[in-house]
Amino acid sequence: MTSKNKKPSPSWNEWKFDLARRSLLAIQRQEGSKEANQKGIVVANNVSVKTYIYEVPLDPHAMVQGELSVVMGNWNRRLLSVIGEVDIIVGPRSVYRPDLSIRPNRRQRPPFRQAINSSGNPYPTMVVEIGNTESVRSLHELVAGYFSPRTTIQIYLAIKLFPPRQDGLYLRNNQNPIVPTIAKSFGTAPLHVSVQNYLHNFAGFPADGITGVGFGSGPCNGANLPDYQIAIPTISLFNGVIGGVPNGVPNNFSIDLWDLHDAILNRL
Between the alpha carbon of residue 106 and those of residues 78, 101, 231, 253, the distances in Å are 10, 15, 22, 18
User: Would you list the DSSP string of 217-248?
Assistant: B----STT-GGGEEEEEHHHHTTTBTTSSPTT
Considering the domain boundaries, does residue 4 fall inside one?
no
In a domain, 34, yes or no: yes
Residue 3 maps to a domain: no
Tens digits of pLDDT across the chain (268 residues): 444 444 444 444 444 444 444 433 333 333 333 444 444 433 333 333 333 334 445 688 889 999 999 999 999 999 999 999 999 999 988 999 999 999 999 999 999 889 999 999 999 999 999 988 788 889 999 999 999 999 999 999 999 886 544 566 767 877 777 778 888 888 887 777 888 888 878 777 777 788 888 888 888 999 999 999 999 999 999 999 999 999 999 999 999 999 998 888 776 5
Would you state the pLDDT for residue 153? 97
Residue 164: strand, helix, or coil:
coil
Give the pTM.
0.76
Domain count along the chain = 1
Domain-embedded: residue 225? yes
Stretch (H or E) spanning 265:
helix 257-265
Residues of the domain holding 74: 10-265
| Long-range contacts formed by 174-178: CB under 8 A, 24+ apart | 176/204, 177/143, 177/147, 178/143, 178/144, 178/147, 178/204
Contact by Cβ (8 Å): 241, 79: no
Do the domain assignments include residue 127? yes
Question: Would 185 be classed as within a structural domain?
Answer: yes
In a domain, 182, yes or no: yes
| pLDDT given for residue 127 in this prediction | 97
Q: Let me know: does 69 contact 63? Beta carbons within 8 Å.
A: no
* Closest alpha carbon to 162 in 139, 137, 131, 200: 131
111 CB neighbour count, 10 Å cutoff: 7
Quick check: helix, strand or coil at residue 5?
coil
Residue 126's pLDDT is: 97
Residues β-bridged to residue 256: 229
Q: 146: which residues sit within 8 A by CB, 6+ positions away? A: 88, 90, 96, 98, 127, 153, 156, 170
What's the confidence (pLDDT) of residue 163?
52
Asked if residue 62 belongs to a domain, the reply is: yes
